[in-house]
A and B are shown apart, each in its own frame.
Chain A
């Protein structure tokens, strides 16, 4: 894939070790970014789902429990059918980023000075991986045995993952147990507005519900401007997990469950008439707002490593990581500028474009959660093309796989891939088959390079051969579906709010019953 020795360095020589604090940086020459249409997530909550949602919530309080599986599992299963990428996307101006150099920075076991009251420095057993862009034509030059760095070059971090690694010893011996604690897209709001001026609103589920607030005079005011992204902020961070639509619904459900348990808790029930009046009156925020407070929020700034909430210069990066001054710690990789294949025109609201956008959105967080950084696979949901679908065995072909942390054996790699595939099938493919039909899918995913997706529905032969939807891992955060235009914001806010209203209505009616 790459001309230089990146493949060898990055894929085989990046074993994590608990003993040393190590930093490596790979900087790539500028790459073409194909024309891209961003499709924000759009809710289409139908009555079937709303009914299932409220039913699941109420079943948690049903005597004798629920025999149809856990409510969260039922909600998860139904959730896939209600979130779609928007039919009408926003065109992205990728040109400014075609002049910048993408980079990967991998920081093992960062040492933090005076991290506690003990006043001593402390090494964290973790790996931080940053992706981003360096705004310089020649950020690093190796000459006469020296590494010459463009000190003033601005560095934009677009994505960060942090994985904490626990070392455990059991009957199998000493094992490393990685756990991803952060997987965030970092977006500079001003850059975002430059490349897509109409995408100004945060569509994160908890933010959607905060548009409603109590005005103090007994009214609830809805102001969508509260969702407008803060252009004055240096960066915004979005948990990548929310790119998976089901995750958004799970987050809402959990928020509602907490709201319900708080509202229906014995201490709330038996506080007498005064509190009852109090809770219904002017002084409490609307139920939508209360639910939003119980929902998970985006990741906080990571306490170790670089602050993602500020713009750095290359000099700052090197100062924070003196190891980068070592020769070969920073590698400059010259890669071909142009793409090697035809790019899918993804502007029309066709089934292929909509669902390709969904795959590009939902797959990366699932792969990242398993530590997979690079993977190529083909998946055909119904290889026999049988018209009668009696759970046919899908055809799966794994061509290549790479991991971010551990040097796994072949058996472990396959086992991890199978687990991951199971999750992808549950979270994405099931919905795809149910709502759009059987398909043949080719995915060539690289977290820090081009990702190619070719989705061919078996009953639709209009997709030209050798055509792929192409995105770039470093640029990908800027195309997050969690930011959208005002039209989508109003649509989603109404849909989400309506669902919450129906659910909280049930909670409130149950609370009222408990007073009787």
Chain B
């Protein structure tokens, strides 16, 4: 069967619409019932985000083409894409967990298909629900993330609750989450992903030896399998929060084998909205022998500039995360304030600001020694 560019569009649409927060409106990507997503093309120019298309309208249109992956620089569209998918999955995962705990707390027999997920939890009370909410609200990206490691060419999920290094737990102030709650939440996660050991991470890790869009090629299969795992729960939990999750997983599954072909077909355009963590067009790079002193060979310097040293990539990522939360709650967010902490409009405080972003490797992911699927 010959694949066409319409197949690529359908594939990309299916992915971005699955979480139920985005709709395709006249070819453009828009928050459901709200405005069209805008992406920074340059520092001073924004453009409307279009789904994959070969004929966008308007000179400042930005095409979502995640098959374009370049060396050296990131680009803001890809960054938005992965941040959006990671954030929304984290959000739905939290909602699934909260929903299951609510069902357990109410001892409701309304959802017989969900009984297996609450096995071994025992008595669940409101406190556990509040603790879960605290974990998600304060450390959303530490709660769950799905990150691509460019060096290994692997996409690895991270679940804070399962973090074997316990760095995540240590970051939570003492007394906020009880010891037995950690055990119960860990059990709940294992029930959801139907895994009994630390193999959850390995099960959902995808690696590749291919050089054709390795980020996309590893991320989407991992993301897809994670969605499959929460699918039976999310059909109930998403109704509970008023989001209609789209059943696109079959279409996505079919096209997972077509990624190489799509990659070849989609190379006609270039990377859009390149971003790099520099504050001005001058940078200083240390000499090779200074490597022993600093691992970061490239550091921005301020050459008389008054601009704060912010990473636009982080700004974009945080803005996306805020938007996801806004879309669900209907409340305006405070947005990214420029430092290393994030204050959202409803009192959420995050000290994990610097670790946002799809292209970065979480420090949590290093100790797993995972086995993985290779494509």
Contact in complex: B5, A87 (CB < 8 Å): no
Contact in complex: B71, A47 (CB < 8 Å): yes
Asked if A45 meets B283 with Cβ closer than 8 Å, knowing A88-B59, A280-B289, A494-B276, the reply is no
Contact with A along B26-45 (1 / 0, CB 8 A): 00000000000000011101
A270 at interface, CB cutoff 8 A: no
Contact in complex: B2, A387 (CB < 8 Å): yes
Interface positions, chain A 17-73, Cβ under 8 Å from B, are 37, 42-48, 50-51
Which one of B47, B57, B212, B282 has the highest number of Cβ atoms from chain A below 10 Å of its Cβ? B282
Contact in complex: B268, A48 (CB < 8 Å): no
Q: How far is the CB of A320 from chain B (nearest CB, A)?
A: 42
Among A47, A87, A225, contact of B214 (Cβ-Cβ < 8 Å): A47
| B41 to A, closest residue via Cβ | A88
Q: How far is the CB of B10 from chain A (nearest CB, A)?
A: 15
Contact in complex: A435, B268 (CB < 8 Å): yes
Q: How far is the CA of A258 from the CA of B216 in the complex (A)?
A: 36
Choose, from B62-70, B169-177, B182-190, the stretch at the interface: B62-70
Interface positions, chain B 293-344, Cβ under 8 Å from A, are none
Q: How far is the CB of A427 from chain B (nearest CB, A)?
A: 17
Which residues on the B side are within 8 Å of A417 (C-beta)? Answer: none
Among B43, B68, B285, contact of A44 (Cβ-Cβ < 8 Å): B68
B251 at interface, CB cutoff 8 A: no
Contact in complex: B267, A223 (CB < 8 Å): no
Asked if A220 meets B269 with Cβ closer than 8 Å, knowing A44-B68, A44-B70, the reply is no
Asked if A220 meets B69 with Cβ closer than 8 Å, knowing A88-B41, A88-B60, A462-B55, the reply is no
Which one of B2, B4, B270, B272 has the highest number of Cβ atoms from chain A below 10 Å of its Cβ? B270
B106 at interface, CB cutoff 8 A: no
Which residues on the B side are within 8 Å of A212 (C-beta)? Answer: 285
Contact in complex: B69, A459 (CB < 8 Å): no
Among B56, B71, B268, B289, contact of A436 (Cβ-Cβ < 8 Å): B268
A355 at interface, CB cutoff 8 A: yes
Contact in complex: A84, B73 (CB < 8 Å): no
Q: How far is the CA of A220 from the CA of B271 in the complex (A)?
A: 27
Q: How far is the CB of A497 from chain B (nearest CB, A)?
A: 7
B281 at interface, CB cutoff 8 A: yes
Q: How far is the CA of A68 from the CA of B261 in the complex (A)?
A: 24
Contact in complex: B270, A86 (CB < 8 Å): yes
| B285 to A, closest residue via Cβ | A220
Contact in complex: A219, B285 (CB < 8 Å): yes
Contact in complex: B73, A495 (CB < 8 Å): yes
Among B211, B271, B274, B289, contact of A490 (Cβ-Cβ < 8 Å): B274
Which one of B56, B59, B63, B276 has the highest number of Cβ atoms from chain A below 10 Å of its Cβ? B59
Contact in complex: A349, B283 (CB < 8 Å): no
Which residues on the B side are within 8 Å of A88 (C-beta)? Answer: 41-42, 45, 47, 59-60
Contact with B along A441-460 (1 / 0, CB 8 A): 00000000000000001011
How many chain A residues touch B (Cβ–Cβ < 8 Å)? 59
Asked if A460 meets B55 with Cβ closer than 8 Å, knowing A46-B211, A354-B269, A491-B73, the reply is yes
A222 at interface, CB cutoff 8 A: yes
Contact with B along A345-370 (1 / 0, CB 8 A): 00111111011000000000000000
Contact in complex: B269, A349 (CB < 8 Å): yes
Which residues on the B side are within 8 Å of A218 (C-beta)? Answer: 286-287, 289-290
Which residues on the B side are within 8 Å of A354 (C-beta)? Answer: 268-269
How many chain B residues touch A (Cβ–Cβ < 8 Å)? 47
Q: How far is the CA of A387 from the CA of B213 in the complex (A)?
A: 25
Q: How far is the CA of A223 from the CA of B264 in the complex (A)?
A: 35
B369 at interface, CB cutoff 8 A: no
Q: How far is the CA of A435 from the CA of B5 in the complex (A)?
A: 11
Among A48, A349, A388, contact of B63 (Cβ-Cβ < 8 Å): A349
Asked if A351 meets B54 with Cβ closer than 8 Å, knowing A48-B211, A494-B73, A499-B71, the reply is yes
Q: How far is the CB of A361 from chain B (nearest CB, A)?
A: 14
Interface positions, chain A 80-115, Cβ under 8 Å from B, are 81, 84, 86-89
Contact in complex: A225, B281 (CB < 8 Å): yes
Which one of B63, B69, B73, B282 has the highest number of Cβ atoms from chain A below 10 Å of its Cβ? B73
Contact in complex: B56, A47 (CB < 8 Å): no
Contact in complex: B56, A220 (CB < 8 Å): no
Q: How far is the CA of A223 from the CA of B58 in the complex (A)?
A: 33
B284 at interface, CB cutoff 8 A: yes
Contact in complex: B269, A87 (CB < 8 Å): yes
Interface positions, chain B 75-110, Cβ under 8 Å from A, are none
Among A50, A435, A460, contact of B71 (Cβ-Cβ < 8 Å): A50
Contact in complex: A487, B285 (CB < 8 Å): no
Q: How far is the CB of A325 from chain B (nearest CB, A)?
A: 49
A10 at interface, CB cutoff 8 A: no
B112 at interface, CB cutoff 8 A: no
Contact in complex: B73, A355 (CB < 8 Å): no
Which residues on the A side are within 8 Å of B286 (C-beta)? Answer: 218-219
Contact in complex: B282, A495 (CB < 8 Å): no
A293 at interface, CB cutoff 8 A: no
B367 at interface, CB cutoff 8 A: no
Which residues on the B side are within 8 Å of A379 (C-beta)? Answer: none
Q: How far is the CA of A46 from the CA of B213 in the complex (A)?
A: 8
Q: How far is the CB of A345 from chain B (nearest CB, A)?
A: 9
| A389 to B, closest residue via Cβ | B2
Among B2, B56, B270, B281, contact of A223 (Cβ-Cβ < 8 Å): B281
Contact in complex: B4, A459 (CB < 8 Å): yes
Interface positions, chain B 171-217, Cβ under 8 Å from A, are 211-214
Contact in complex: A348, B57 (CB < 8 Å): yes
B72 at interface, CB cutoff 8 A: yes
Q: How far is the CA of A222 from the CA of B282 in the complex (A)?
A: 5
Among A42, A47, A282, contact of B287 (Cβ-Cβ < 8 Å): A282
Asked if A224 meets B55 with Cβ closer than 8 Å, knowing A218-B287, A218-B289, the reply is no
Contact in complex: B287, A37 (CB < 8 Å): no
Q: How far is the CA of A51 from the CA of B209 in the complex (A)?
A: 12
Given contacts A43-B70, A222-B284, A495-B70, 12 further A-B contacts (CB under 8 A): A44-B70, A45-B71, A215-B284, A219-B284, A222-B282, A281-B289, A348-B58, A351-B54, A434-B264, A462-B55, A495-B73, A498-B72
Which residues of B are in contact with A by a Cβ distance under 8 Å? 2, 4-5, 41-43, 45, 47, 54-61, 63, 68-73, 211-214, 264-265, 267-272, 274, 276, 281-290
